[in-house]
Every structure is written in structure tokens, then in C-alpha cells.
Amino acid sequence: MKDSKDFTVNAQEEDNKQKFLQDDFFFPITSKEERVEIENKANTGDAEAQFDLGDYYFIGDSNAFNKRDVKKAVHWYIKAAEQGHLRAQCRLGKNYLEGRIPHDLMSEEQAVNWLTNAAEKGHAESQNVLGYLYYFT
């Protein structure tokens, strides 16, 4: 018979699997109040908050206060990327190339430019994505 510790470990493993299945997205926003706080930071130019909002809107969830909105996500990723946020630059390029960002919001040239900029600054994931792109095309 399993004790409660086993169930806790299993629940934690399932939680980790769910996080993995969400790709590498993470957003520390779990309530409307937190969203408002991060939006305030983002609106004052905080690149990390802008990136977090990008993830928040890109993923969406079952909460009534957060419906998936790719257009808003791209808006916030671009705001962060324009300030040199390397993960935002990678996220824009990678998601576009993987078909997650509609062509009317961004072009392939823009996607590759964001990836190239981040890769040239040493961002490993961007370098990896560009390597695959150049190898397989």
C-alpha cells in the first residue's frame, strides 16, 4: 500500500510533466491582481514583465481571466525584444517558424532577424533553432 508521500511525489511528477508539455513557457501570473501588477510594470518599460505577459497571453489557460490571445502575446514579446530581451527574441522567431504565430502578425524575415540577433549575443536556444533552420532548408 502506498502512503501519502508516494501520492505527493506522483502529483509532483505529473505537475512537472504538465510544465514540460507547455513547452518552455512559464508565467508567474495566477490572478487578475497579479496580471494588473505585471501589466503596470510592462507599461512602464520593464522588459521582463513584458516577456512574462507575452507568455501569459500566448499560453492562456482555463481561468476566465486569461484567454489565449496570440496577438497580445506577440505585442508584448516585441516590446521586450526591442529592448534586447533575448528570450523574447527567441520566442518570437521560434514560435513563428513552428507555425504558432500567424503570418499576418509577423514575417519569416522578422522571425529570422530576431533569432539571429539573439544568437549573435550568445543565446544558445536561438543558435540551436537557427542551426536547424539552416541545416534543413
Instruction: Name every residue whose Cβ is closer than 8 Å to that of residue 28 and which is 6 or more positions away in sequence.
Output: 34, 38, 52
What fold characterizes domain 19-136?
A: 1.25.40
> In tens digits, what is the pLDDT along the chain, a chain of 137 residues?
444 444 344 444 544 434 443 556 665 677 788 889 999 999 999 999 999 999 988 887 656 556 789 999 999 999 999 999 999 999 999 999 999 999 999 999 999 999 999 999 999 999 999 999 999 88
pTM for this structure? Answer: 0.78
CA distance 74 to 56: 11
Query: What distance in Å separates the CA atoms of residue 34 and residue 29, rounded to the nearest whole number?
Result: 6
Residue 12, all three cell numbers: 509532483
Provide φ and ψ at 46, rounded to 5°.
-75, 110
3-state SS of the chain? CCCHHHHHHHHHHHHHHHHHHCCCCCCCCCCHHHHHHHHHHHHCCCHHHHHHHHHHHHHCCCCCCCCCCHHHHHHHHHHHHHCCCHHHHHHHHHHHHCCCCCCCCCCHHHHHHHHHHHHHCCCHHHHHHHHHHHHHC
- Listed residue (81, 132, 131) closest to 106, CA to CA: 81
The predicted structure's pLDDT at residue 76:
97
pLDDT at 67: 77
